[in-house]
Amino acid sequence: MTQVEYDRNWWRSAIVDACEPQDCWMAWKFTGKLDEHKKRYPAFNAERVARMFIDAPPRVRAAYCYQPMTSFTKAIHRLGAWKSQAANET
Q: Which range marks the domain in which residue 39 is found?
A: 3-89
Q: Is 26 helix (H, G, I), strand (E, B) or coil?
A: helix
Other CB atoms within 10 A of residue 46 CB? 20
Closest to 46 measured CA to CA, from 32, 60, 61, 57: 32
Domain total for the chain? 1
According to the model, what pLDDT value does residue 82 have? 83
Whether residue 54 contacts residue 18, with contact meaning beta carbons closer than 8 Å, is answered with yes
What's this model's pTM, rounded to 2 decimal places?
0.75
pLDDT under 70: residue ranges of the chain: 1-8, 90
Q: How much is the pLDDT for 71? A: 86
